[in-house]
Amino acid sequence: MENIVYFNQITWRRNNQEILKDINWQIKEGEQWAILGLNGSGKTSLLNIITGYNYPTSGKMTVLDQLFGRTDLSELRKSIGYVSSALDRFQDTIQLESVENVIVSGKFASFGIYEEVSEADWRLVDRILFDLRLEYLKGKKYSVLSQGERRRVLIGRALMSRPEILILDEPCSGLDILSREEVLELMDDLKENTHLLYVTHHIEEITEAITHVALVRDGELVATGEKRDVLTDALLSETFKIPVQVHWDGGRPWLTIEKRK
């Protein structure tokens, strides 16, 4: 495959406002990306272009080498997994389901099981439980899980469709420091079978599994590239509109805020 994602001079306009401006960005096979930017900078709008929910106003766009305008977006979406802490609002419907049922429902893009589940599907559930080290939760109801376990089960659910792209939109928001590390530890395993797009406000969540970073500010890309080239004091200060310094510890970047005059 040539490109996983390719934005060529993409703009997205809404109500006469240019929300995304002149976006040029390529994600290649084998790369794992993080996306950073302030609230309202355009991260979700960018992701919604990739998933085909926002249609570009101008420019050329391909996802998994499929050219927008010539491809069936609903088919394409089956290759894209999406986990968001915003999914928490759907959790009411799955409280009483077992962990296995929640995971298997990912195959049907619904939170209920309305279609027949095959033997092969259950084998994949077992495989996912094993890979994500969640076997100890087998048979438990979703409602009794900790927040960290719930996030990991929702990631497992997204893997049921064997996505080529997995969007993790602030998957660690609201988690304590231990649960957050448990979710982050999955990153190494996930990257073997999919391409990660990891959105966060906390740069220390950019683990060694992430290879590349995109910085977004006011609907424009400040920088895209290998993480060591992009996560610099100057580029992060520009992105976050506040003077910051980055330092690396344990293979991860950490931020300190410079005192403002």
Ligand X SMILES: Nc1ncnc2c1ncn2[C@@H]1O[C@H](COP(=O)(O)OP(=O)(O)OP(=O)(O)O)[C@@H](O)[C@H]1O
| Binding positions for ligand X, rule: CB under 6 A | 14-15, 19, 37, 39-45
> In the bound complex, what is the minimum distance in angstroms from residue 237's beta carbon to ligand X?
18
DSSP-H helix ranges across 132-226: 147-159, 177-184, 187-190
For residue 126, give the DSSP letter: H
DSSP per-residue letters across 201-257:
S-GGG--TT--EEEEEETTEEEEEEEHHHHS-HHHHHHHHTS-EEEEEETTEEEEEE
| Residue among 19 and 255 whose Cβ is closer to ligand X | 19
Rg of the chain in Å (alpha carbons): 19
Distance in angstroms (rounded) separating the CA atoms of residues 248 and 94: 40
| Residue among 26 and 48 whose Cβ is closer to ligand X | 48
| Residue among 37 and 253 whose Cβ is closer to ligand X | 37
| Residue among 90 and 136 whose Cβ is closer to ligand X | 90
> In the bound complex, what is the minimum distance in angstroms from residue 197's beta carbon to ligand X?
13
> In the bound complex, what is the minimum distance in angstroms from residue 53's beta carbon to ligand X?
9
134 and 185 Cβ atoms separated by less than 8 Å: no
> In the bound complex, what is the minimum distance in angstroms from residue 46's beta carbon to ligand X?
7
| Residue among 111 and 240 whose Cβ is closer to ligand X | 240
| Residue among 32 and 41 whose Cβ is closer to ligand X | 41
One-letter amino acid for residue 120 of the chain? A
Name residues whose C-beta falls within 8 Å of residue 215's C-beta, 6 or more positions apart in sequence.
36, 37, 221, 222, 223, 224, 230, 235, 236, 238, 239
Distance in angstroms (rounded) separating the CA atoms of residues 194 and 240: 29
How far, CA to CA in Å, does 80 sit from each of 19, 77, 175, 223?
23, 5, 24, 24
> In the bound complex, what is the minimum distance in angstroms from residue 15's beta carbon to ligand X?
6
| Residue among 14 and 78 whose Cβ is closer to ligand X | 14
> In the bound complex, what is the minimum distance in angstroms from residue 56's beta carbon to ligand X?
14
Residue 204 three-state SS: helix
How far, CA to CA in Å, does 252 sit from each of 202, 212, 231?
11, 13, 11
> In the bound complex, what is the minimum distance in angstroms from residue 169's beta carbon to ligand X?
8
